[in-house]
Structure formats: C-alpha cells, structure tokens
Amino acid sequence: QVQLVESGGGLVQAGGSLRLSCAASGRTFSTYTMGWFRQAPGKEREFVAAISRSGGGTTYYADSVKGRFTISRDNAKNTVYLQMNSLNPEDTAVYYCAASSRPWSISISLFDSWGQGTQVTVSS
C-alpha cells in the first residue's frame, strides 16, 4: 500500500478555485491509478475523478464536475492534483485521495489506499 496525504482544502466563495494536492509515499507511485472522491455531510462517499497510472494518459470525471475539475499527476513528485474551478456550494465536502493497484478503476471498492481527507467549503 501507499501512504497518502491531502492538502489544499479551505473556504472559498462560489465561482472560485482551489487546487488540491495529494502526496504519496513510496517508489511505486507511477504504478497506481489515482482517484479523488468526496463525501458531503449525510451523504455517501462519491467518485470525483481518476487518472491512469504511469503517464496518466486516461482521465475520467463524474458528470457533476466535468468541465470544471481537472485531475493531473506528477510522478517525479509522487503527487496527484485536483484543480477545481467554478466551485459552487454543492461541491462542499471532504475530499479524499485514493490509490488503486488495478490497471484502471473508478469504483470506490477497488481503491486500496486512502488519505485522511481535506475539507472544501464553498460559500454562496
């Protein structure tokens, strides 16, 4: 497993932007499919975005964030990012970074390692 630590959350006004970072430990970061998930109060954790392992040539987004969020990775820095633009109050949640050892996955059950989460709050 890989150890994950998220950062970059905070309070932002509607229409604003934030960039989340997730730093991973270990030498095999590039071999993991990486994903971002979020959980709002009283709701189940949901998929946000995923990026394929190695060069990250494949990305996938939830419909609710498509066109507003961008996932990327820097294997040299063992870090995955989530650029969030045009934020709205419905994006308020704890955001989690996760790693999957599968070649490709967007299913929450297939992610093996999780970070502790970072709070994102969007005010109206």
Q: Give the tens place of pLDDT for each residue, 61-79.
A: 999 999 999 999 999 999 9
Q: Mean pLDDT throughout 31-37?
A: 96
Rounded Cα–Cα distance for residues 113 and 107 (Å):
13
Q: Which residue has the tokens 């990775």?
A: 73
Q: Which residue has the tokens 């059950």?
A: 109
> Is pLDDT at 55 greater than 90 in this prediction?
no
Q: Mean pLDDT throughout 15-21?
A: 98
Question: 2: closest CA among 106, 118, 119, 111?
Answer: 111
Residues 69 and 54 sit within 8 Å (Cβ to Cβ): no
pLDDT of residue 27: 78
Q: How far is CA 104 from CA 15, 19, 50, in A?
A: 32, 23, 9
